[in-house]
Amino acid sequence: MEESIWEKVKIAIKGSIPNHSFRMWIEPLKFKMDKDNAIILECPNFFSRKRVVDHYAKMIESEISRLCGMKTRIDFTISGVKTRAKKAVRPKEELQLELPTINMQPALGRILRKNFTFDRFVVGGNNDFAYSASLSLANRKLENQSSLFLLSKTGMGKSHLSQAIGHHILSESPAESVNYITAEDFTNEMVNAFKSNEIELFKEKYRNNCDVLLLEDVHFLTGKERTQIELALALDYLFDADKKIIFTSCYLPSDIPKMNEQLCSRLAGGLITTIEPPDFRTRIDILNMKLRETGCPVPGKIMEYLAEELADNVRQLESGLIGVTTRASLLGERINMDLARSVVQNIGRKKQTITIDLIKKVVCINYNVTIEELMSKSRKKSIVRPRHVAIYLSRKYTNHTYNAIGKHFNRYHATAIRSIGAIEKGIRTDNTIRKQVEYCCRKIEEAVE
C-alpha cells in the first residue's frame, strides 16, 4: 500500500521536472518504511543524496504529505550505509554538514577545479543530453559506453562536464587513476619523453596505468603527426581494456584538419554530444547559481537584464555578473539598472568595436612590423611571433571562427589553431610573451574606450 504512494509521488514529480533529471535523480531512489512507519528513501551514493536533498526534498515531502493527508517524516539515506536514529528531513544547509568528507584524490596531470562538479552544473535544454551522457559514463550505467566526445564553442561548459566526470569517479572509486590533461600537455610530455629517453615510461603511463583519461582541446593536435600516432596507439590500449575516455573540442573529429585517420576514427568511435548556447531560462538559472556561491544579492530585474543581453556563452554571462557585483562593491554604489547597463555596454562595445584590423594595427606598432609583413609568408621569428599574437588576440576579442581568422592573415584555419596554441603556451611559460600580450590587450581596450 505504501509503495503505491511512492509510485504516485514519482508520477507527480515526473510531470514537474525535466526527463533527464527524473531519470538521474528520482528514478534510482528506493522506497522503504521503518518500524515506526517513517518513510526512508535510499539514494545510491553521496552525490545522489546531496543532489536530491538540495533540489527535490521539498517537492517529495510536499507530494507525500498531500497523498497521505498529513505531514510525513522522511529520511534520505545512502544504500549500504548504516545510519543513526532516524530524524525528520531538515534544511539542505544542515544536512550538508553531516555528509562525510570525501578525500578527493587529485587527478594526474592537471588539477581538477574543485567547483567543476555535477551538482554545480546548471542543466538546461541546451546541455541536458551532454549532462546525462556525462553522468551516465561517470556512473558506468551503460556497459558499452566507454568514451564521450563533448563538442561546443568556447565557454559553454564542456570543461566543467569533463572534470565533473573525473571528480565523480574519484569520489566513488578513489583507487582509480584519473588523468586530466590537454592535447598540448600530451604533446609536450611525449616530446620530453623522447628527449630524455623515457618514452617507454610515457607509453606505460597512458597504456597501462590510466583508468580514466580526460583529454581537453583535441583540435590542437592538428598537424602534429607523431603525437597523433602515439595517442592513437594509447587509445587502442585503453579501449581494449574498457577504460573511460572523455574528449573535448571546438570541432567535430572529421572537421579537424590534418588529423590521422586512425585517431579520427578513435575520437569519433564513442558518443558525440553537442553543448549549445544557453537559453534565457537557463541563463537565469546560471546567474542564480553564481549568486548562491557568492552570497551577493542582485535585484531580479538586473538578473533578467544580464540574462537578456549577455547571451553568447556562460563565460560572458559570468563576467557580466562579476562586473556588476565588483563595481558596486568597489565604488560603494547600489546595484541598479544604470550600473548594469554600463557593465553590459562595456562588454558589448568591446565585442562590436574591436576588429581584426584594429588588432593588426596595435600588434604592428608594438612589434615594429608592417601589416604587409604580418600577412606575408615570412617565417622569420621577428614576424612569426607578432603574427601568432595577432591571431590569438583575434580569437580572444572577436566572434570570428578559426577559418575566418585564418583568411584575415592569409592562412588556413589549421595554422590559426596552432598559432593560438603557441601563444597560450607562451603565456603560461614565458614572462616576456605574457607581458607583450598583456600590453597589446591594454592598448586594444584603450582604443575602444
Judged by DSSP in three states, 339 sits in helix
C-alpha cell at 245: 575516455
The residues, any chain, with a CB within 8 Å of residue 350's CB and separated by 6 or more, are: 397, 445, 448
- Whether this prediction's pTM lies above 0.95 is answered by no
Res 350: pLDDT: 56
- Model pLDDT, residue 380: 92
- Helices 300-309 and 314-331: crossing angle, nearest 10°? 140
Give the angle 160-163-167 at the CA atoms, nearest 5°. 125
Give the 3-state DSSP-derived string for 260-308, with helices as H, strands as E and coil as C: CHHHHHHHCCCEEEECCCCCHHHHHHHHHHHHHHHCCCCCHHHHHHHHH
What's the pLDDT at 367? 93
Question: Rounded to whole angstroms, how far apart are CA atoms 193 and 402?
Answer: 31
Q: Are strands 244-249 and 147-151 parallel, antiparallel or unpaired?
A: parallel
According to the model, what pLDDT value does residue 287 have?
93
Cβ distance 421 to 220 under 8 Å?
yes
pLDDT value of position 105? 45
Please report the pLDDT score of residue 37 as a whole number. 67
Radius of gyration of the chain (CA): 25
Q: What are phi and psi of 252, to 5 degrees?
A: -65, 150
Greatest distance between any 2 Cα atoms in the chain: 84
Q: What is the pLDDT of residue 342?
A: 87
- C-alpha closest to that of 181 among 239, 247, 227, 233: 247
Nearest to 54 by CA among 120, 126, 102, 106: 120
Task: Tell me which residues of the chain have a pLDDT lower than 50.
Answer: 1, 83-105
CA distance 401 to 405: 6
The residues, ordered by sequence, that sit 6+ positions from 215 with a Cβ below 8 Å of its Cβ are 181, 182, 183, 186, 245, 246, 247, 248
Identify the pLDDT of residue 142: 66
Exposure of 178 by Cβ count < 10 A (0-12 exposed, 13-18 middle, 19+ buried)? buried
Residue 356 pLDDT: 93
Domains of the chain: residue spans and CATH:
2-98 (3.30.300.180), 110-274 (3.40.50.300), 280-352 (1.10.8.60), 354-448 (1.10.1750.10)
Chain centroid to CA 41: 31
What is the pLDDT, as a whole number, of residue 34?
65
Please give the pLDDT value at position 92: 38
Question: Mind listing the pLDDT tens digit for each residue in 44-75?
Answer: 877 778 888 888 888 898 888 888 777 777 88
- HSE, side-chain direction, 13 A CA sphere, residue 3: 4
pLDDT at 162: 96
Q: 183 with 225: CB under 8 angstroms?
A: no
pLDDT of residue 231: 94
State the Cα–Cα distance between residues 246 and 215, nearest whole angstrom: 6
pLDDT at 275: 94
